[in-house]
Amino acid sequence: MNNESAYAQQKRPWLPVIVTLLIVAIGVTWAAFGLFKYGVWQNRGPGAGFFPVVAGSGAFFLGLIELFRKQERAESGGIKSIWPALGMALAIASIPLFGMVIAMSIFVMVWMALIESQRWWKSLLTGLGTGIALYLLFGLWLRVAFPQGIIIQLLQ
């Protein structure tokens, strides 16, 4: 994560609180499962629940302490990151349809054209270049079995 990036005035002081609350919840869940389901000490040694209890309790108590401390100023951005993440999720969801290589080429083209406002031919060329590079490097040389996608399978 970039530490040098510009810090905006803190608009969302609740974001660090939510993250810490989630950590506290995860800690208590892990500790409870470790304690009641997996067992802390079994057969004269640490059981499957030993580490979940130790680390879960640690995360829980330190998280609580963190909640009561004065909150540090969060980095800027926060919630805006949902849009690029959603765009990526859409591209990943389209892999079973188009196949890995074509889906990733389309992703690069659409991203460059719509989000980065690049000229269409530049977006098209970069998308095609990405697809060709992926196919040559991963498909041909390293023989990674990429998902082909329903459309290619139907065409075959």
Partner 1 sequence: MDILQSLLQGFATSLSFSNILAALIGAGLGIVIGAIPGLGSVTGVALLLPLTFQMDPITGIIMLGALYYGCMYGGSYSAILLNIPGDAPAVVTALDGYPLSQKGLAGKALFTANLSSFIGGTVGIIMLTFLGPVLAKVGLLFGPAEIAALILLALCSIGWLLGDNPGKGLISTFLGILLSTIGLGLAFGQPRFTFDSMYLLNGISFIPLVIGMFGFSQVLDMMVNRINTSGLTDKLGLRDSLLDRKEVLRVLPVSLRSGVLGNLVGILPGAGATTGSFLAYVMEKKVGRRGQDLGKGEIEGVAASEAGNNAAAAGSFAPLLSLGIPGSGTSAVLLGGLMMWGLQPGPLLFQQNADFVWGLISSMYLGNVMAVLAALAIIPFLVKLLRVPHAILIPVIAVVCVVGSYSVNNSMFDVWFMLGSGVVAYFMSVAKYPVAPLLLAFVLTPRLETSLRQALDISRGDPMIFFNSPIAVTLLSLILLFVLYPLAKSLFLRSRKKSDA
94-123 binders of partner 1 (CB under 8 A): 95-96, 100, 104, 107-108, 111-112, 116, 118
Report the C-alpha gap between 141 and 139 in whole angstroms.
Answer: 6
Does position 35 interact with partner 1 (CB under 8 A)? The reply is no
Inter-helix orientation angle 82-93/100-110, to 10°:
150
Q: Candidates 92, 97, 132, 136: give the one binding partner 1 (CB under 8 A).
A: 92
Does position 81 interact with partner 1 (CB under 8 A)? The reply is yes
| Cβ neighbours around 59 below 10 Å, total | 20
Q: Candidates 20, 98, 99, 149: give the one binding partner 1 (CB under 8 A).
A: 20
Which stretches of 69-144 are DSSP H helices? 82-93, 95-98, 100-110, 120-134
Report the C-alpha gap between 91 and 14 in whole angstroms.
Answer: 30
Does position 90 interact with partner 1 (CB under 8 A)? The reply is no
Does position 45 interact with partner 1 (CB under 8 A)? The reply is yes
Cβ proximity to partner 1: between 118 and 152 the closer is 118
Does position 9 interact with partner 1 (CB under 8 A)? The reply is no
Token pair listed for 55? 């680390």
Q: Candidates 59, 98, 102, 149: give the one binding partner 1 (CB under 8 A).
A: 59
Dihedral angle sign, alpha carbons of residues 60, 62, 65, 66: negative
The values of phi and psi at residue 28, to 5°, are -70, -35
Does position 148 interact with partner 1 (CB under 8 A)? The reply is no
Does position 13 interact with partner 1 (CB under 8 A)? The reply is no
Token pair listed for 156? 């075959």
- Shortest separation between residue 151's beta carbon and partner 1, angstroms: 17
